[in-house]
Amino acid sequence: MKIAFIITAAGSGARIGREKNKTLLEIGGKPILEIIIDRVNSFQDISEIIVTARKEDIKNYRDITSKFSNNIKIVVGGKTRSKSVLNALKSLDPGYEYVMVHDAARPFLSKDIYEDLKSSLMKNPFSMPALTPRDTVYDVKDPEVPKTLDRDKLAMVQTPQCFNKKISEQIIELLSNTNKVFTDEASVVLELGEKINFTTGSVFLNKITQPEDLITAEALYEYFITKEKD
């Protein structure tokens, strides 16, 4: 099983309110990007790791990737997430069988989540982790008549979003010939008419987006690293 692992890190991270890219911010004394690369590097069946980057972040990213013995490829991202992923897919070595696309801002990827996704990929063309919302969710399109949504019918999707080589080739074809904006790989796959399989996600995989997320991530770091070593 040969899995090409793409880490999307070409965004600006403006919402977190810091001057530099949030993947360069430190948790537990390590840059966020280094934490997720270290996690992926410990997994079996990873044939290559690709990191998407803004041009201005490439030097800093190379300083991080140089700490690892394997050759990690850095690819310049596009103006949107989907274009960044397209650039990464086009750069893959031809021998890959599966692809996992993961947000760098979700550094706490566990071995259990990874192995669940691997097993799912053996039976499904596309898989991704998701959680059922904990809070009550309202549809407030009409704020005067809000509607309560059934949480059991909702999913908060996470990454890695995973697919086989056939789907990868279809994604490349579609994204190369459209200017339509897709928020993630799942939305591209739905456009292709393919089915999505959900695996069980984790609160550890919540994305670092807002300033307060850094506080939570710092608190989770020691627990997560200790747990993964057990």
Domain residues for the domain of 110 are: 3-128+157-229
Residue 89 corresponds to which amino acid? L
Q: What is the CATH number of the domain that holds 116?
A: 3.90.550.10
Q: How confident is the model at residue 226 (pLDDT cuts 50, 70, 90)?
A: confident
Write down the mean pLDDT value for the chain: 91
What are 21-38's pLDDT values in tens digits?
889 999 999 999 999 999
Residue 146 lies in a domain: no
Per-residue pLDDT, 70: 82
Q: Which residues pair with 151 in a beta bridge?
A: none
Residue 147 lies in a domain: no
Residue 139 lies in a domain: no
226 class by beta-carbon count within 10 Å (0-12 exposed, 13-18 middle, 19+ buried): exposed
Residue 102 corresponds to which amino acid? H
In this model, does residue 225 exceed pLDDT 90? no
Separation in Å, CA 189 to CA 11, 68, 112, 209:
22, 33, 24, 25
| Contact assessment for residue 98 and residue 163, using Cβ atoms and an 8 Å cutoff | yes
User: Which SS3 state, helix, strand or coil, does residue 129 take?
Assistant: strand
Residue 9 lies in a domain: yes
Residue 138 lies in a domain: no
What are 91-103's pLDDT values in tens digits?
999 999 999 999 9
Per-residue pLDDT, 227: 74
> Taking CA 139 as the corner, what is the angle to CA 137 and CA 142, rounded to the nearest 5 degrees?
150
In sequence order, what are the residues at sequence separation of 6 or more whose Cβ sits closer than 8 angstroms to the Cβ of residue 66?
Answer: none
Residue 220 lies in a domain: yes
Place of tokens 């499904």: 124
What are 117-152's pLDDT values in tens digits?
999 999 999 999 999 999 888 888 877 778 898 888
Q: For the residues 208-218, what does the mean pLDDT come to?
A: 91
Query: Which two structure tokens, joined as six digits, stand for 41?
Result: 């590097």
Residue 137 lies in a domain: no
In this model, does residue 90 exceed pLDDT 80? yes
Residue 136 lies in a domain: no
In this model, does residue 19 exceed pLDDT 70? no
Number of domains in the chain: 1
